[in-house]
């Protein structure tokens, strides 16, 4: 039998899995972790651990030693075989030196005796969470690779406004990285350790959107069988990212405007006013000014949300970034699929340069993932790409080869300027090795 204590699940909060046949211990630990802003899932059935790990992004597993049908050390061994990077802590009231040694040999991060010293355990959990947050920020920084002037200006603005609570609206075509920029703002802000809630306005039915945002009391409407917190309440002290804000219906827009103006809200079916302490970041791929003219978006809400407006360029406008991004995705998917693809052929590069990329960075990422999976050599060739890409012109065409060389030269020069002439740093910026950079510069007559 398994139990879950999560009635409110915080979208960006780290989740801890507790495996113990003592329900009282599970409940106690789960409540303590929840009080310190962690999600907690607990189960008394070790057979359910695999499914829980598949369905949730777990920060840490805490397992008891003595359980029906399995020992904690056996569970640790099983977990570490499938999830080698997942930290596991063992707890027990029946510890021995041999048990501790075995647990550590199988990959346990630490061992705690019952009764637990919760503050010591919490301190270790906080350290794991901090490392994960820094890793998330690093991963986002590695994904946002650019030498594009417009994109660099946007990132400069991000760095200036991240520490403030100023409202930000991010516009751009689908796949240009709006959500990445929103996450970067949140991670660099003073609210980084608080909840981060993403709301896709296009995916929530119009009849449910107000309940989702503001919550409701029991009996507020036909299906309201219990009271429920809304996203503004869940995100208290944190950040809400409204994706596709242009899809929000006009009535909800009015209520959102009032919340932003008065810094307070009420659940549906309640007259009790609750304070609002949330930073809003919004994004859309629509032209909101056109929607305002059409009468489907409020101009007063637009001006309230767009104190800072970040407009992200398309990937086609960021030609100098296509190959560095492709190389970064190559590195990412090599690691994900345990592959050793070393580079992208010149013919493939030319196809990438000439492609229109209607799906922008998301399309490039998907293309590279598919290519790495199907590549059986150490270099990505045109035949490894999805069929629709092979219609693009090859660099063997002399005119296109000249364009390709000019773009490559510009990309290298931008990287060298950014690295103040340091070729090793320039190669790192381009996600290639130093020797490849020298060879390209030699071929292009760059000395």
pLDDT level of residue 102 (50, 70, 90 thresholds): confident
pLDDT single digits (tens) 211-265: 889 988 887 787 777 888 889 998 999 999 999 999 999 999 999 999 999 999 9
- Domain ranges (residues) in the chain: 2-132, 144-311, 319-443
The lowest-confidence range among 69-83, 366-380, 400-414 is 400-414
Q: Determine the 3-state secondary structure of 433 from DSSP.
A: coil
Tokens 């397992």 locate to 63
319-443 has which CATH code? 1.10.8.60
**Dihedral of CA 51/52/57/60: which sign?**
negative
Q: What is the pLDDT of residues 11-23, one digit of tens each?
A: 457 889 999 888 8
The average pLDDT across 374-403 equals 73
Q: Which pLDDT value is given to residue 444?
A: 77
Per the structure block, which two tokens stand in for 264?
């307070």
DSSP assignment, residue 269? Answer: T
Query: Does 2-132 match 319-443 in CATH topology?
Result: no
Token pair in block for residue 57: 């992004």
Structure tokens at 225: 């069988």
Pick the CATH number of 144-311 from 3.40.50.620, 3.90.650.10, 3.40.50.300, 1.10.10.10: 3.40.50.300
Residue 279 pLDDT more than 60? yes
Q: What pLDDT score does 131 carry?
A: 76
Residue 3 reports pLDDT greater than 60: no
Look at residue 111 and tell me whether its pLDDT is greater than 50.
yes
CB atoms within 10 A of CB 69: 9
**CATH domain 2-132 topology:** Rossmann fold (3.40.50)
pLDDT at 114 over 60: yes
pLDDT band at 447 (very low <50, low <70, confident <90, very high): low
Predicted pLDDT of residue 136: 60
Report phi then psi at 160, rounded to 5: -75, -35
pLDDT (tens digit per residue) in 416-431: 888 888 888 888 888 7
Burial of 144 (0-12, 13-18, 19+ CB in 10 A): buried
The 10s digit of each residue's pLDDT in 394-419 is: 445 445 556 667 778 888 888 888 88
Q: Would you say the pTM of this structure is higher than 0.85? A: no
Cα 249 to the chain's mean position, in Å? 27
Q: What is the pLDDT of residue 1?
A: 43
Given a cut of 90, whether residue 380 has pLDDT beyond it is: yes
- Is the pLDDT at 181 greater than 90, yes or no? yes
Residue 2 has pLDDT above 60, yes or no: no
């Amino acid at each position: 039998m398994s139990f879950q204590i999560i009635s409110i699940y915080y979208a960006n909060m780290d989740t801890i899995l507790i495996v113990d046949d003592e329900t009282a211990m599970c409940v106690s630990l789960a409540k303590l972790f929840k009080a310190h802003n962690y999600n907690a899932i607990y189960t008394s059935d070790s057979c359910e651990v695999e499914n829980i790990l598949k369905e949730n992004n777990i920060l840490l597993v805490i397992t008891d030693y003595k359980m029906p049908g399995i020992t904690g050390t056996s569970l640790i061994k099983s977990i570490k075989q499938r999830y080698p990077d997942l930290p596991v802590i063992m707890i027990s009231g029946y510890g021995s030196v041999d048990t501790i040694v075995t647990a550590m040999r199988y990959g346990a991060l630490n061992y705690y005796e019952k009764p637990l010293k919760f503050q010591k355990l919490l301190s270790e959990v906080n350290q794991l969470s901090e490392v994960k947050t820094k890793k998330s920020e690093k991963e986002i920084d590695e994904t946002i690779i650019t030498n594009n002037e417009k994109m660099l200006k946007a990132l400069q603005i991000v760095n200036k406004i991240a520490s403030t609570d100023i409202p930000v609206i991010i516009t751009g075509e689908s796949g240009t990285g709006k959500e990445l920029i929103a996450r970067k703002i949140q991670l660099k802000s003073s609210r980084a350790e608080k909840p981060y809630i993403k709301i896709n306005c296009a995916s929530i039915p119009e009849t449910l959107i107000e309940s989702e945002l503001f919550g409701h009391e029991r009996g507020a409407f036909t299906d309201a069988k219990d009271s429920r917190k809304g996203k503004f309440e869940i995100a208290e002290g944190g950040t809400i990212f409204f994706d596709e804000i242009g899809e929000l219906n006009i009535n909800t827009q009015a209520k959102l405007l009032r919340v932003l103006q008065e810094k307070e809200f009420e659940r549906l079916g309640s007259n009790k006013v609750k304070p609002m302490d949330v930073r809003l970041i919004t994004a859309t791929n629509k032209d909101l000014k056109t929607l305002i003219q059409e009468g489907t978006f409020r101009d007063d809400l637009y001006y309230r949300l767009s104190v800072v407006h970040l407009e992200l360029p398309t990937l086609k406008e960021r030609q100098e970034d296509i190959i560095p991004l492709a190389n970064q995705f190559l590195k990412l998917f090599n690691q994900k699929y345990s592959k050793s693809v070393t580079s992208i052929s010149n013919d493939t590069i030319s196809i990438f340069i000439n492609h229109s990329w209607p799906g922008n960075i998301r399309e490039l990422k998907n293309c590279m993932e598919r290519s790495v999976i199907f590549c059986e050599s150490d270099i990505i060739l045109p035949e490894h790409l999805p069929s629709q890409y092979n219609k693009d012109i090859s660099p063997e065409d002399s005119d296109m080869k000249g364009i390709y060389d000019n773009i490559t030269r510009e990309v290298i020069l931008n990287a060298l300027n950014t690295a103040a002439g340091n070729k090793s740093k320039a190669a790192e910026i381009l996600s290639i090795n130093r020797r490849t950079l020298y060879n390209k510069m030699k071929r292009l007559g760059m000395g």
